[in-house]
Amino acid sequence: MAEIFSLTLDTPAYKGGVTINTGLFINGKWVKPVDEQKIEVVNPTTGKIITAIQGGSSKDVDLAVNAAEEAYKTLWGLKVPGSIRGQMLLNLANLIEQNAEEFAALEALNCGKPFASAQREVAVGCVQELKYYAGWADKVHGKTIETTENKMAYTRREPYGVVAAIIPWNAPLSMLAWKVGPALATGNTIVVKPSELTPLTALKFASLVNEAGFPPGVVNIVNGYGNIVGNAMAYHPRIRRIAFTGSTLTGRKIQEASAKSNLKVVTLELGGKSPNIIFDDADLEQAIKWASTGIFANMGQLCCAGSRIFVQEGIYDAFMKGFSAAAQHLQQNAGDPFSGNALHGPQVSSTQFNRIMGYINSGKADGAQVYTGGKRHGNEGYFIQPTIFTEVKPTMKIAREEVFGPVGVVMKFKTEEEVIEIANDISYGLACGIFTENVSRAIRVAQALEAGTAWVNTYNTIEISVPFGGYKQSGIGREQGECVLEHYTQVKAVHINISLKL
């Protein structure tokens, strides 16, 4: 039996306890890894250790796959009707909702995001997500297909069996639900690796799985480092499908591992360097607010962040005045996520902090101008000021590579044709934003931009029912909506001879 971690918080935002089991969750039980090792989990607000969790290895992945495979064959999969799978997902969603404040506290403590943001992640990104896929569980249908009068043909959508998910650290609870919801709704069993940086809410999630009614082995969570546990999952010959959210570099390695192992189906939601285009006929006040949300939400730690901001020259000066004021307002309200009024928290780790500061220094060295921010905030934790660069050339490193932090680059443009060409001249294609009051222009530019999601007069407003994913090196496949169910099922065609005789 692994150890229990408990902590009592007495803060303006949350007063109460948080408790997790620090072990691996395999076959419905909390266990220690075969080769026991500890991974320290750090509070990014202070830089101090919160607790240590158990870290697994390939041996533990084998055990989890064994449990998931046995559960699929004997207790789950096609043996359990979709209506019952849906009820269990609904039970899990309701249990998380009942413990929402503790989940939010764990997320804020572990990730550094303001408590109010963590509350929204629990309510929308997790609870509503699971409820949505609970509703889909008995609605995954095949089709009958007309062929000839001598034959009947139909299709079935069947689960893969054992699937896997590797979860990022920027929105760990949401991303967990994004993977687990459709996987279980469609009858698969799953092995999950949460990020070693932010595992706490995944472990709390696991503690409710049995209570929700899921048979042992349907959900398994193996903590560990990506190069150990994640690598073992990517190469595992009995994992039929793997979903990953994270960097493009790691996504390439997972796809390579699939090719070298068992050709498991791979879906990848990867990096981005998304353009956010502000035309001179935009509602300026709204454009400023959404542009700020686009780049500074979650401290810039969003794959779809609107980090390349193109502003038409007619409103450039007015936009910059308002945009810099928005950044400075966030800076003035940076601090402890539990303070009750914090709007801007720390980066998730010292590694991420140093990486972002490296990009800021690169921008300065390349001749870009820091319009506001550009420095560390405070002396404790991993806080970086919301930063805006101007005088940026499209060829600069900060304009081409994903920073994954609160760093936006602003570039002036003249014409629609010019900005479309520059916006598309990049290896990423996850999202884009368009701000204009001209409907024809909005539709025209949305169609011209090479991105999986186009937001018009809004930004970062993801909907559960709408597909999300990238073009080019921003990924393969889609999350969310009905579309993702296709990625968790495979089509079987059945041909029945009803009168043909040889």
Whether 100 and 64 map to the same domain: the answer is yes
Spatial strand order in the sheet of 369-372: 369-372, 387-390, 407-413, 308-312, 275-278, 431-435, 453-456
Q: Measured between alpha carbons, how far is 189 from 102 in angstroms, rounded to an integer? A: 27
Residue 290: partners with Cβ closer than 8 Å, 6 or more residues away? 433, 435, 457, 458, 459
Distances (CA, A) of 403 to 47, 111, 302, 408: 21, 18, 10, 9
Read off the amino acid at residue 331. Answer: Q
Q: Backbone phi, then psi, for 74, in 5-degree steps?
A: -115, -25
Active site residue ranges: 269
Whether 261 and 280 map to the same domain: the answer is no
Q: Give the residue among 114, 121, 460, 193 at the shortest CA–CA distance from 302.
A: 460
Q: Measured between alpha carbons, how far is 192 from 113 in angstroms, rounded to an integer? A: 23
What the block records as the tokens of 348 is 């998730």
- The verdict on pTM exceeding 0.85 is yes
Please give the tally of structural domains in the chain. Answer: 2
**Could you tell me the CATH number of the domain that includes residue 295?**
3.40.309.10
Whether 261 and 333 map to the same domain: the answer is no
Beta strands in 323-444 (DSSP E): 369-372, 387-390, 407-413, 428-429, 431-435
Q: Measured between alpha carbons, how far is 203 from 219 in angstroms, rounded to an integer? A: 12
Burial of residue 467 (number of CB atoms within 10 Å: 0-12, 13-18, 19+):
middle
Q: Measured between alpha carbons, how far is 185 from 484 in angstroms, rounded to an integer? A: 11
Whether the CB-CB separation of 39 and 3 falls below 8 Å is answered with: no
Whether 252 and 314 map to the same domain: the answer is no
Confirm whether 471 is domain-assigned: no
Whether 380 and 443 map to the same domain: the answer is yes
Distances (CA, A) of 343 to 154, 212, 295, 385, 425: 54, 34, 14, 12, 33
Confirm whether 500 is domain-assigned: no
Half-sphere exposure of 232 (CA within 13 A, CB side): 19
How would you classify residue 322: left for phi > 0, otherwise alpha for psi between -120 and 50, otherwise beta?
Answer: alpha
Confirm whether 469 is domain-assigned: no
Whether 245 and 386 map to the same domain: the answer is no
**Could you tell me the CATH number of the domain that includes residue 48?**
3.40.605.10
Whether 295 and 240 map to the same domain: the answer is no
Confirm whether 70 is domain-assigned: yes
Confirm whether 259 is domain-assigned: yes
Whether 310 and 333 map to the same domain: the answer is yes
Residue-by-residue pLDDT tens, the chain, 502 positions: 569 999 999 999 999 999 999 999 999 999 999 998 999 999 999 999 999 999 999 999 999 999 999 999 999 998 999 999 999 999 999 999 999 999 999 999 999 999 999 999 999 999 999 999 999 999 999 999 999 999 999 999 999 999 999 999 999 999 999 999 999 999 999 999 999 999 999 999 999 999 999 999 999 999 999 999 999 999 999 999 999 999 999 999 999 999 999 999 999 999 999 999 999 999 999 999 999 999 999 999 999 999 999 999 999 999 999 999 999 999 999 999 999 999 999 999 999 999 999 999 999 999 999 999 999 999 999 999 999 999 999 999 999 999 999 999 999 999 999 999 999 999 999 999 999 999 999 999 999 999 999 999 999 999 999 999 999 999 999 999 999 999 999 999 999 999 877 7
Confirm whether 498 is domain-assigned: no
Whether 334 and 482 map to the same domain: the answer is no
Q: Measured between alpha carbons, how far is 385 from 389 in angstroms, rounded to an integer? A: 12
Whether 353 and 377 map to the same domain: the answer is yes
pLDDT value of residue 1: 58
Where is 58: in which H helix or E strand? helix 58-74
Whether 225 and 286 map to the same domain: the answer is no
Confirm whether 133 is domain-assigned: yes
Q: Backbone phi, then psi, for 301, in 5-degree steps?
A: -90, 60
Q: What domain range is 83 assigned to?
A: 4-270+477-491
Q: Measured between alpha carbons, how far is 474 from 68 in angstroms, rounded to an integer? A: 30
Confirm whether 470 is domain-assigned: no
Whether the CB-CB separation of 113 and 106 falls below 8 Å is answered with: no
Indicate the SS3 state at residue 353: helix
Whether 486 and 449 map to the same domain: the answer is no
